[in-house]
Amino acid sequence: MSNKSANNLAPTILDLTPDAARERLSTWVEGRKLPRFRGEQIHRRLWVQPVGAWSEATELPAALRAELEAEFPLRRLKEVVSELSQDGTRKFLWRLDDGEAIESVLIPSGSRRTLCISSQAGCALGCVFCATGLMGFRRNLSPFEIAGQVREVMLRDPADKPSNIVFMGMGEPLLNWPGVDVALTILNNPEGLGIGARHITVSTVGIIPGMKKLAARPEQFRLAISLHAPTAERRLAIMPIEKKYDLKAVLEAAAAFRKRITFEYVMIGGKNDSDQDADALAALAHKHGALVNLLPLHPGGAPGLEPTPSNKIKNFAGRLQARGVEAVVRRSRGLDIKAACGQLAGQTGSDLTH
Ligand code: SF4
């Protein structure tokens, strides 16, 4: 399942880290006896100032553009749908070269533009509240297919370049470490997309081997744990992954992070929203110095689940805060276009989650 290769397509120049792409381009430029600066001009057009096709890079001679088109074709994600919510949130459905579909959600808020990106087509983990889980696992995304979601948004409108990235779209990023590892470099490197590591959050249900690899990277990427329940027993009822990586072990692995972590917590009526749950969650958040994001349950996940009423969510947050925990109730964004957490299901014209 999760180890299945990203796709059967050969990696392209956009699947390489900016350093590896530079090396490839300089060898090519040298081989053609072109001046070295041509290599730099071409490199800029990959991520820093992207073009949709080489023909648009008009600073380059036409003959060179034609050669680039043949040698290093620029792959694209095809925009199938772009839906704008009344609150300014925009959901994109992209079609990949092999026909799979993935989604991204752009959430503007003041001067911040957060892009929620997908790391897999579908997801194998089957969390009960999540529409993506219901789709099952399709395949891992390649580095380009991950970072390319940002590239496409910039190609549509450079003013939309995201300031923040969250890996909270479709899929479990740490089950696709080879793709996510390179994509993180492209996102962060100044010669890639140049987005600060502290503005990039990887959200995981707690895939321990992946958490260790992420913690070993030198940059200060942020980590969010999809907790959703404060005890192993309650968690098992909504997140089957608890069987493989239990809460205690996940939290021990999270302790290796040098930055403050976040607990994501979807509020589900009668499942994880009692006063005892709040107290147990407060104890965990306290112990790990975690910020808690409380998310309302949105329609589109498993049938039969009830959202916690908003006044009860407020009381739950108040109980955490009274115990000295920083807890934030997240506003629902993009509900009218099914772009909210737990709603991403890769369907044309409708419905995205982690
Ligand atoms: S919440 Fe995340 S890990 Fe769980 S099924 Fe959905 S996409 Fe997969």
Question: Nearest to residue 50, comparing CAs of 20, 74, 80?
Answer: 74
Measured from the Cβ of residue 285, the count of other Cβ atoms closer than 10 Å reads: 24
- Report pLDDT digits (tens) over 203-218: 999 999 999 999 999 9
State the average pLDDT for the chain: 92
Statement: residue 236 has pLDDT above 90: yes
Q: Are residues 98 and 244 in the same domain?
A: yes
Q: Is the CB of 171 under 6 A from ligand 1?
A: yes
Q: Which of 52-61, 127-136, 250-259 has the highest mean pLDDT?
A: 52-61
Q: Are residues 170 and 37 in the same domain?
A: no
Q: Is the CB of 138 under 6 A from ligand 1?
A: no
Question: What pLDDT does residue 341 have?
Answer: 64
107 in a structural domain: yes
Name the least confident of 26-35, 77-86, 265-274, 295-304.
295-304
* Side-chain-facing half-sphere of 59: CA atoms under 13 Å: 12
Closest residue by CA, ligand 1 atom 4: 127
98 in a structural domain: yes
| Strand 291-296 to 262-267 pairing | parallel
4 in a structural domain: no
For a substitution probing ligand 1, which of 1, 172, 226 has the most ligand atoms within 8 Å of its CB?
172
Question: What pLDDT does residue 11 have?
Answer: 79
109 in a structural domain: yes
Q: Is the CB of 301 under 6 A from ligand 1?
A: no
283 in a structural domain: yes
CATH assignment of the domain containing 182: 3.20.20.70
**Over residues 38-65, mean pLDDT:** 98
CA dihedral 106→107→113→118, nearest 10 degrees, is -40
Q: Are residues 120 and 227 in the same domain?
A: yes
* More confidently predicted of 240 and 338: 240
247 Cα distance to chain centroid: 22
Q: Are residues 244 and 138 in the same domain?
A: yes
What's the rounded Cα separation, in Å, for the pair 185 and 194?
A: 9
Q: Is the CB of 354 under 6 A from ligand 1?
A: yes
**Over residues 87-105, mean pLDDT:** 95
Domain with 63 in it: 13-71
- Token readout for 298 is 């949105």
Q: Are residues 58 and 83 in the same domain?
A: no
- Per the structure, the count of domains in the chain is 2
For a substitution probing ligand 1, which of 102, 118, 120, 123 has the most ligand atoms within 8 Å of its CB?
123
Q: Cβ(320)–Cβ(283) under 8 Å?
A: no
Q: Are residues 58 and 107 in the same domain?
A: no
Q: Are residues 241 and 106 in the same domain?
A: yes
Q: Are residues 126 and 254 in the same domain?
A: yes
Q: Are residues 184 and 128 in the same domain?
A: yes
* More confidently predicted of 188 and 330: 188
171 in a structural domain: yes
Q: Cβ(352)–Cβ(167) under 8 Å?
A: no
CA dihedral 28→31→32→34, nearest 10 degrees, is 80
- Token readout for 185 is 């470099």
What separation in Å is there between the alpha carbon of 172 and the centre of ligand 1?
6
Model-level pTM?
Answer: 0.93
